[in-house]
Amino acid sequence: MGYIYDHPEWPDFKWDSGRLANKLFAIYEHQGRLVGRMEAIGFPLQAEAELQNLTQTVLKSSEIEGEVLDRQQVRSSIARRLGLDVAGLVSAERQVDGVVEMMLDATQQFDEPLTKERLWGWHAGLFSERRNQFGSLRVGIWRDDRNGPMQILSGPIGREKKHFEAPPANLVDREMREFLRWFNLPLWSNLILGAGIAHIWFVTIHPFEDGNGRIARALTDMVLSKLDYSPRRFYSMSDQILAERKSYYAILEETQKGGLDITLWLEWFLGCLDCSIVGAENLLQNVIGKARFWQRVASESLNERQRKVLNRMLDGMEGKLTSSRWARMGSCSQDTASRDIDDLIRRGILIRNPGGGRSTSYSLLGIS
C-alpha cells in the first residue's frame, strides 16, 4: 500500500476551504472570548493560568506516548524557567527538564527560525540518557534504517499490525529541508491551518527514532503562539488530544494512507483545537477558585506543610487525600499529618469525606 508521501505531488497538500470555514469561525470566536477573559483577570492570575496550562501540556503530551511524568517536577521546572515565585518547588529529573525546555523554547521563542540544529537540540533534551523503553537511541540526529524501516506497529510480537511506515531514512534530510523551508516562510494564508499542516507533515516524515509525536505537538504550540503573537499559552491541545487519543491515531493513519487532500485531518484537528479552547474555561475557573481560596484563608496562620499540601490539592492533585498521603507529601510522621489535618478541619478549610477507618479521606471546603 502506498502512503501519502509516495504521491508524485507530495507535499502539495490540498483541502476544501468551504468545509473548514465554520470550524475556523468558531475557533476565532472562542479564542477571542478566552483572551478577553484572561486579560480581565490581571497579570498574577494570568501567570498562574499559564503555569497550570503549560504543566498540563507537558504532562499530557508525554502521556499520549505512554510516559507518565511527575506533576510537581514539571510544575517546578516550568516555574523556575519562567521566573515565577511559586511555593513548594521541588527538584526535577533531567528528563523532565528536557521536555520542559523543548516546550518553552517552542512557545517563548516562537518567532525564531526553526532549524535542524534546534530540532536536534529538542530531541537530545527529550532523551538525555540516550535511551527509551526499547533500548539505546540515536539522539540529536535524524534516524537511520540500521534496524529496518521505521514502522508504527501494534499487537503481540509475531502478529503485529502495521499502521504506518515512514519514508526511508536516506530521504529524511531532504524531506526535512523542504519542511523547514515551508515552516519558516514569513507569511501563511492561515496560521491555524498551518498548525494542522505542520503536525501531519512532521509526523509523516517521522525524522527521529523516537519522540516524533511530542515534537510535532510542540511545533503545533509554536505555530499557535505565532497566531496569538504571544508566548503565553492558556489552552492545551495535548490535553484534548489525550482525551481523543483513539481517534487521533485513527485519523493520522487514515490520512497517511490517503491522497494529498487532508480535509478530513484538518476537520479533526480544528475540532480538537476548538474543544481545547472551550475547555480552557475550566482552567480559568480553577485559577480563580484558587485565588479566592487563598483570599478566604489569608488571615489564617498555616504552617509550611499545610500550605504545600493545600496548593497540591488546588492544582488538581489526582486521587484522594489521606493522612498517609499527607505524611508523604509533607515529609512528616503520620501523627504530625493527622494533627495538620485536624487543625484544618477545625478552621473550616478541610472536610472529612463520608466513610472512615483507614480509608478516611479529606476534601477542600468551599471551593468554587
The pLDDT of 283-292, averaged and rounded, is: 80
> 257, 289, 321: which is the final residue of a domain?
289
- pLDDT value at position 25? 96
The burial of 252, by beta-carbon neighbours within 10 Å (0-12 exposed, 13-18 middle, 19 or more buried), is given as: buried
Q: pLDDT tens across 115-148, in order? A: 999 999 999 999 977 655 555 788 999 999 888 8
Does one domain contain both 281 and 309? no
Does one domain contain both 140 and 41? yes
Does one domain contain both 237 and 260? yes
Does one domain contain both 221 and 317? no
Q: How far apart are CA 214 and CA 117, in angstroms?
A: 17
Does one domain contain both 180 and 224? yes
Residue 70 belongs to a domain = yes
Q: How far apart are CA 73 and CA 65, in angstroms?
A: 19
- Closest C-alpha to 217, from 120, 329, 324, 99: 99
Report the DSSP beta bridge partners of residue 152. Answer: 164
Q: pLDDT class for 368, splitting at 50, 70, 90?
A: very low
Does one domain contain both 67 and 210? yes
Q: In the predicted model, is pLDDT for residue 302 greater than 80?
A: yes
Does one domain contain both 242 and 322? no
pTM: 0.83
- pLDDT value at position 357? 66
- pLDDT value at position 198? 97
Residue 297 belongs to a domain = no
- Closest C-alpha to 58, from 106, 124, 90: 106
Does one domain contain both 349 and 284? no
Residue 181 belongs to a domain = yes
Q: Which residues contact 170 (CB under 8 A, 6 or more apart)?
A: 145
Domain that holds residue 153: 4-289
Q: What CATH number did the domain enclosing 357 receive?
A: 1.10.10.10
Centroid of chain to Cα 10: 29
Does one domain contain both 315 and 264? no
SS3 category, 31 = helix
Q: In the predicted model, is pLDDT for residue 313 greater than 90?
A: no
In three-state form (DSSP H/G/I as H, E/B as E, the rest C), the secondary structure along the chain is: CCCHHHCCCCCCCECCHHHHHHHHHHHHHHHHHHHHHHHHCCHHHHHHHHHHHHHHHHHHHHHHCCCCCCHHHHHHHHHHHHCCCCCCCCCCCHHHHHHHHHHHHHHHCCCCCCCHHHHHHHHHHHCCCCEECCEECCCCCCCCCCCCCCEEEECCCCCCEEEEECCCHHHHHHHHHHHHHHHCCCCCCCHHHHHHHHHHHHHHHCCCCCCHHHHHHHHHHHHHHHHHCCCCCCCCHHHHHHHCHHHHHHHHHHHHCCCCECHHHHHHHHHHHHHHHHHHHHHHHHHHHHHHHHHHCCCCCCCHHHHHHHHHHHCCCCCCECHHHHHHHHCCCHHHHHHHHHHHHHCCCEEECCCCHHHCCEEECCCC
Residue 295 belongs to a domain = no
Q: pLDDT tens across 27-75, in order? A: 999 999 988 888 888 888 888 889 989 999 999 999 999 999 999 899 9
The dihedral built from the CA positions of residue 264, 269, 270 and 275, taken in this order, carries a sign that is: positive
Residue 173 belongs to a domain = yes
Does one domain contain both 133 and 253? yes
Residue 63 belongs to a domain = yes
Q: What CATH number did the domain enclosing 264 receive?
A: 1.10.3290.10
> 236, 265, 289: which is the final residue of a domain?
289
Q: pLDDT class for 105, splitting at 50, 70, 90?
A: very high
Q: Which three cell numbers stand for residue 357?
A: 477507618
Residue 359 belongs to a domain = yes
Q: pLDDT tens across 217-264, in order? A: 999 999 999 988 888 888 999 999 999 999 999 999 999 999 999 999
- pLDDT value at position 172? 97
Q: pLDDT class for 1, splitting at 50, 70, 90?
A: low
> 289, 311, 339: which is the final residue of a domain?
289
End-to-end CA distance of the chain: 54
Does one domain contain both 227 and 326? no
Q: How far apart are CA 114 and CA 184, in angstroms?
A: 7
Q: How far apart are CA 183 and CA 121, in angstroms?
A: 18
Residue 296 belongs to a domain = no
| Structural domain count of the chain | 2
Does one domain contain both 220 and 350? no
